[in-house]
Amino acid sequence: MAEDLVLDTAIRDWVLIPLSVVMVLIGVLRYFVSKLMRSSQLPDAKIVKEGQVIVRARNLRAGANFIPAKSFRSRRAYFSNEENGLLFVPKGQAQNAQAQMFSDPNMAMDMMKKNLSMIIPQTLTFAWVNFFFSGFVAAKIPFPLTQRFRSMLQNGIDLSTVDVSYVSSRSWYFLNLFGLRGLFSLILGEENAMDDTQRMMQMSGFGFDSSKSLGAEKDSLDIVQHKWVLPKFEQRAEAVLRKLVS
């Protein structure tokens, strides 16, 4: 049987709340530091153009059924034609994003700055939490959980008799690390809010691969099955009017 614990209010005041406040402040500070370290160079015109082409192709897919079939086919040929389509990338012109990064020193420098702005604060914060707050039971989740969540919620506590719903201070650090996107969207705005999961995904990649994005959008546009829905709207409107008249 798992034992019920009575958490001291001092743990709430000196562990739980300070840890949460520090994680929020570090996230905001890291955003402004990365903004200052960001290169002031204008984005490449080719990358901006390709991004706009992808957005226009997605809008065509989303509204395909609201235009006639002939208009949709002509627009799709404009994007996916294998001679001069905007989404068609010849095999010889496809450039690997990793090769593009090594050929552009500014891109490599920006990637290094991004990684440093994330790794250094998180390393120092984890060392601070591990030194001062290791072994504390900081909070309790108000719903039951299975034993599979024990390793995730009770990192640093080697007691199998403690209920799974209790959260250790080290696990509370990781929960804040990966779950503050909603709060950052309120503080920094929706466009600037990015949690550390997305930052780690960016660290594992080498940038925007335009050839893959254009090819994937071309394949998605080619498989769209056009079904014009406006005649159905007319039939529904006619049926509704007939019901009202009768």
Residue 4 lies in a domain: no
Number of structural domains the chain divides into? 1
Question: By residue range, what is the domain housing residue 75?
Answer: 9-245
Residue 134 lies in a domain: yes
Residue 2 lies in a domain: no
pTM of the predicted protein model: 0.56
Res 79 pLDDT > 90: yes
Give the residue with greater pLDDT, 113 vs 69: 69
Report pLDDT digits (tens) over 176-212.
Answer: 988 888 888 888 876 565 555 455 444 444 445 567 8
Report pLDDT digits (tens) over 109-163.
Answer: 777 777 777 888 888 998 999 888 888 888 888 888 888 888 888 887 877 778 8
Residue 3 lies in a domain: no
19 Cβ contact list (under 8 Å, min separation 6): 129, 133, 138, 169, 172, 173, 176
- Rounded Cα gap, residues 95 and 100, in angstroms: 7
Question: In whole angstroms, how far apart are CA 241 and each of 218, 234, 236?
Answer: 42, 10, 9
